[in-house]
């Protein structure tokens, strides 16, 4: 990974244990699809035949009737718990995307990303951000791949019996896989 792709202050050599926490698992990536209503996550480890999902799910900070601070606090605490339970070498996160018709969405996503990056930084975990089009291109060869094609690519790459659901988990798996594949490619290029 290049220093420019790293969003956190964590070192590129990987995470370091904090306050007696378990050491990170080398090669483990936590992928996160950030959101204030639903945040998807996936813990992906290297396996003998390719990447495997160790844990995946969603964090539900609540609906928009809850105060923003409460939702962000809930998300932050749950991300810290996830990182303590499954200490990764890296955290991969979707970059903020904006659409001229929906600027509020980018702002809200930025809030969620902020507390996720803070949680990772507090544990010394480097954070890498990827644009949705980069994730799609890495997994399917097309930056405009439809959701079904992405789900099939994730299912194949991870050897899943079923398509990953809900879409928040599928997106988190895709982000983790993107980081995993880019890292694998960079390591193989260095070995030449």
Q: pLDDT tens-digit profile of 15-47?
A: 555 666 788 888 999 999 999 999 999 999 999
The answer to whether the pTM exceeds 0.85 is: yes
User: Domain with 178 in it: what CATH number?
Assistant: 3.30.420.10
Range of the structural domain that residue 93 is part of: 28-190
Q: Is residue 9 part of a domain?
A: no
Q: How many domains does the chain have?
A: 1
Q: Is residue 111 part of a domain?
A: yes
Give the E-state strand segments of 121-177 in sequence order: 127-130
Q: Is residue 19 part of a domain?
A: no
Question: Is 81 noted as a catalytic residue in this protein?
Answer: no
Give the E-state strand segments of the chain in sequence order: 25-33, 39-45, 52-59, 88-94, 127-130
Question: Is 94 noted as a catalytic residue in this protein?
Answer: yes
Question: Is 171 noted as a catalytic residue in this protein?
Answer: no
Catalytic residue among 4, 9, 45, 94: 94
Q: Is residue 11 part of a domain?
A: no
Reading the block at residue 72, the tokens are 């962000």
Q: pLDDT tens-digit profile of 105-162?
A: 788 889 999 999 999 999 999 999 999 999 999 999 999 999 999 999 999 999 999 9
Q: Is residue 34 part of a domain?
A: yes
Under 8 Å between Cβ of 154 and 170? yes
Q: Is residue 12 part of a domain?
A: no
Q: Is residue 6 part of a domain?
A: no
Q: What's the alpha-carbon Rg for the chain, to the nearest Å?
A: 16
């Amino acid at each position: 990974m290049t220093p420019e792709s790293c969003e956190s202050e964590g070192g590129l050599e990987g995470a370091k244990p904090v306050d007696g926490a378990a050491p990170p698992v080398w090669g483990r990536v936590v992928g996160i699809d950030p959101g204030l209503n639903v945040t998807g996550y996936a813990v992906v480890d290297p396996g003998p035949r390719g990447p495997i999902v160790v844990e995946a799910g969603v964090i539900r900070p609540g609906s928009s009737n809850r105060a923003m601070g409460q939702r962000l606090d809930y998300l932050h605490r749950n991300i810290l718990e996830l990182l303590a339970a499954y200490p990764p070498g890296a955290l991969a996160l979707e970059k903020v995307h904006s659409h001229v018709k929906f600027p509020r969405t980018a702002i809200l996503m930025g809030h969620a990303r902020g507390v996720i990056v803070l949680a990772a930084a507090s544990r010394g975990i480097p954070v890498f951000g990827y644009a949705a089009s980069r994730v799609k291109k890495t997994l399917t060869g097309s930056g405009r791949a439809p959701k079904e094609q992405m789900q099939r690519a994730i299912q194949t790459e991870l050897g899943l019996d079923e398509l990953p659901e809900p879409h928040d988990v599928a997106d988190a798996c895709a982000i983790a896989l993107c980081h995993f594949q880019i890292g694998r490619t960079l390591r193989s290029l260095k070995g030449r």
